[in-house]
Structures are given as structure tokens and as C-alpha cells.
Amino acid sequence: MKHLLPIREPILLARIFLVLFMTLFGYLLTPKGSGMSLHYTLGALIISLILVLFEYSTEVISSKKILIAGIGLFFGLVLSSLFAPMIPDEITSPFPPRLICNMIFGYFGVAMALKHENRLSLSRLKFFISNPRENTCILDTNVIIDGRVKDLYETHFLKGEIIIPEFILRELQIIADSTDSQKRARGRRGLENLEQLQETYPNLQIWEKDYEDIPDVDHKLIQLAKELGAELLTNDYNLNKVASLHQIRVLNINDLAQALKPSFFVGDEVHIRLIRVGKETHQGVGYLEDGTMVVVDDAKHLIGNEVDIEVTSVLQTSAGRMLFGRVKEHERGDAQNNKSRKPGTYGKTEYPNRSVNRV
């Protein structure tokens, strides 16, 4: 895990440089002989820290909230300019009325805009503005253990930044340290997949922010996705549904796998190998390369053979897709001929001590 470090060193160095430069600048601005060098230096330091905090807040808060806050501040200042001339100077002395009104109305404008942001629609502005983290994916524990996300980024089906929350790393570590051998193997595989993903895709960041007041990991992921305006990459069915209710865009790898499966229609021919008996005693069951189950009627006697079937129906269930079919006529005829022959014969030639299976 030595490679899994937050890729934030350049911005961190820039913040440190700003603080040092402004502190030095405040010291140099001190009037000579005034004895106020300490005051100017501390004032410049405080101002620089406020600027850094403001800049950091723009990284945590989504662009939509920043825009809404700016709109609220604008309307607050407009109202302030209307009410300020109506207030006598004696009431707000020693501060000017405009300054007091700007602070009060500006605050309420920003607070009311952010409080009621869900009532505001910015759909018409989406052409002009976009969230800088719209192409950012937050990974959950299951999808990291699954490992297919690495292939998706290698083939460029997914682009943008990858965010791994710190609480997801802790959950993986707990699973890897479990006394249960199966859980321990899953946790270690997840950590290995994560390290390989870091080596393959360098735009991976470890997000250190946590939500101590939220005990459930899934709800922490939802809250983080809300704040960042990012997408949630998962293969957890329940998390998918809950996140969708919170109007969070979810990328489900299982849904993608289902969508990429080849389509079959009634009358299509499929070549499969029957491996076991179906739910009914006369049925044979086989599987396609993508795992789709194929149930074949009147094919119990063909189990262990590769046959050509004709699809008769397609059933889509919550667990996946199932195909139903029947054996092609030439396969059925060959099976009947094999039944009528003596054991150890093939065609007209007899083999007394061995049997030849027709392929």
C-alpha cells in the first residue's frame, strides 16, 4: 500500500508558499518606526489562512453550490444597497450602515440560497457550466474486491479521477484481518486489486474526509457523492437502489455486464455442451460462455455431449437471463440412431471391447 498516497503535493506546496509569502509581505509592509511589525505579520498570516480555507472549500463543495451561493450573495447585496440609505448613521456608529447591511443581507442571501438549493433548477445552465467532478467515480468495497474496474479503466470505458475514501480502506483492512479465511482472502484480494489499479491508473486519490456521525459505510458513500457531485461505481444491488433514491448517478458493473451480453431471439441456433439434468427430469442444462443458463427440453439422454439447439423462448429475471430451447432435428435423429445401435458399434463396424462416442 505504499503507492496509495493522496496525489495532492503540488497544491499543498502552493498553499504553504502562499502563507509564507503573505506573512513576509505583511512584515515588509510595516511602517518603519511604528513598532507594529508583529501586528502586521499576524494580520497577513490570518488573511492568508482564510484565503487557503476558502480555496479548500471550493474543492469540497460542488460547483453547483458555489454558483447558488454566489447568486444568493448577489441578491443579498442588492437588497442591502436598497435598505442601507434608509438607516441613520447614528444607529450603526462607529460602523457605516452599508457595511452592516452588506454583512447581514449577504449572509442571509447565501444561507437561504444554500438552504433551498433543491428548489432551484439549473438545467438550462448545464450547457454553460459543469461540475469538475462529474467524471469522477467513487469506488465501494465490493467493486474493489471484484477487480473488473481495472479492466474498465484500461480499456478507456471509464475516464476521470478515481476516489477511494479512507473509510473504505479501513473496511478492506478489517476484512483482510478477519479470522474467517474466506473473508480474509477477499480483503487481501481487494487490497491487491487496489494497488494494481494505482499502478495502472495514476489519477487515483485517497479521500481522507470521514463522517463520524454516520455509522453505515453505504450512507457515508452516498453523503460523499452528494458533496462532490461524483458518480458512485458499485456492483451492490441495494446500494444502487438507495443511491438512486438520493438522485446520485450510479454505475453498476453488473448492469454493464448484462447489457454487453449478446442478444438472442426465438429461432436462433446455439451450440452448447449439456452438463447436468434440469429441474424437470427430461431437461438438460448447459451454459454459454457469459454464464447464461440454457434449458433444453427432452435432452436428458444427451448430457455430456455438445449439441445444436434452437431457442424457443427467452426469460429475463432479476438474477439474469435464461434461454429455453429444443434440440435440432438432426441432433435428435442422431441420438435415436445411437440408441438403436448395439453397444460398441458405430455405423456398420463392430468394436467388441470399446465404445466410440459420436462427436
Among residues 229, 210, 120, 227, the alpha carbon closest in space to that of 170 is found at 210
Looking at the whole model, is its pTM more than 0.85?
no
Average pLDDT taken over every residue of the chain: 77
pLDDT tens, residue by residue, 121-163: 444 444 344 444 557 888 999 889 988 888 888 777 777 788 8
Spatial strand order in the sheet of 162-165: 204-207, 162-165, 137-139, 231-234, 250-252
Rounded to a whole number of angstroms, the distance between the first and last alpha carbons of the chain is 52
**Can you tell me the distance from the alpha carbon of 269 to that of 265, in angstroms, rounded to the nearest whole number?**
9
**What whole-number percentage of the chain has pLDDT above 70?**
78
**Can you tell me the distance from the alpha carbon of 162 to that of 69, in angstroms, rounded to the nearest whole number?**
27
**Can you tell me the distance from the alpha carbon of 148 to that of 254, in angstroms, rounded to the nearest whole number?**
10
State residue 229's pLDDT score: 82
The arithmetic mean of pLDDT across residues 9-28, rounded, is 81
The arithmetic mean of pLDDT across residues 208-224, rounded, is 87
Asked if the model's pLDDT at residue 277 lies above 80, the reply is: yes
**Can you tell me the distance from the alpha carbon of 73 to that of 77, in angstroms, rounded to the nearest whole number?**
6
What are the residues facing 137 on neighbouring strands?
A: 162, 231
State residue 174's pLDDT score: 92
The H-or-E segment that residue 211 falls in is: none
Where does the pLDDT of residue 91 fall: very low under 50, low under 70, confident under 90, or very high at 90 and above? low
Among residues 208, 238, 206, the alpha carbon closest in space to that of 222 is found at 238
Tell me the backbone φ, ψ of residue 160, rounded to 5 degrees: 100, -175
Between the alpha carbon of residue 114 and those of residues 10, 133, 214, 310, the distances in Å are 31, 19, 22, 60
Where does the pLDDT of residue 331 fall: very low under 50, low under 70, confident under 90, or very high at 90 and above? low
**Can you tell me the distance from the alpha carbon of 16 to that of 9, in angstroms, rounded to the nearest whole number?**
11
Furthest-apart CA atoms within the chain: distance in Å: 121
Map out the domains of the chain with their CATH numbers.
9-125 (no CATH), 137-259 (3.40.50.1010), 269-350 (2.40.50.140)
